[in-house]
Amino acid sequence: MGKFNFIKTELDGVVIIEPTVFGDERGYFMETYQKEEFAAAGIDRDFVQDNQSKSSKGVLRGLHFQTEHTQGKLVRVVSGEVFDVAVDCRPNSKTFGKWTGVILSAENKRQFYVPEGFAHGFLVLSDEAEFTYKCTDYYTPSAEGGIPYNDPTIGVEWPDCGCEYKLSAKDKEHPAFAEQTFSFFERW
């Protein structure tokens, strides 16, 4: 293994990344990104923006995408724990409408690469979590889109976090997956 273990998922392009962690009684060190190794693993994208958020237990953000300036995201948790989800929104994909999820935490140090053409969301499982991610394009508010977290066509199996899910007003209003065309993702 190099500095990273790249684990393919059932959705083409979605990858779980495990970094090599060097630790001793003083703490630990790890690389979280190295362009050449990621490119060799098929993640050959330029990242142009880094984001970080902090959320409390039960916060569910998503499922989000952009209709223009579509973003690939390399996500990780720096404190706490989340359940992270990617949904394939590429109309020409054999896994169109399918989802995959992974637990990301400060403890397991895993990362999740969600390419362009996917909706993305996460649920906070710990008392609070800090979530950070690199994006392949800039955030464009006018191009926001989304799918309801509980869309029956997708059927994401969100874990029980021990409380009610907390959603933004915007996330409560997304149109159903079956009502959307996703033609903006045809190139992916």
pLDDT tens figures, 11-50: 999 999 999 999 999 999 999 999 999 999 999 999 999 9
Residues 6 or more apart whose Cβ sits within 8 Å of residue 91: 181, 182, 183, 185, 186
Active-site residues, by number, are 64, 133
Instruction: Assess if residue 54 is contained within a domain.
Output: yes
Instruction: Assess if residue 145 is contained within a domain.
Output: yes
pLDDT at 30: 92
pLDDT at 2: 73
Instruction: Assess if residue 87 is contained within a domain.
Output: yes
What are 152-184's pLDDT values in tens digits? Answer: 999 999 999 999 999 999 999 999 999 999 999
Instruction: Assess if residue 139 is contained within a domain.
Output: yes
Structural domain count of the chain: 1
**What is the domain-level CATH number for residue 90?**
2.60.120.10
Instruction: Assess if residue 111 is contained within a domain.
Output: yes
pLDDT band per the 50, 70, 90 thresholds, residue 60 = very high
Mean pLDDT over all residues of the chain?
Answer: 96
Instruction: Assess if residue 59 is contained within a domain.
Output: yes
Instruction: Assess if residue 160 is contained within a domain.
Output: yes
Instruction: Assess if residue 21 is contained within a domain.
Output: no
Range of the domain at 101: 46-185
pLDDT at 25: 94
Is the pLDDT confidence value at 1 over 60? no
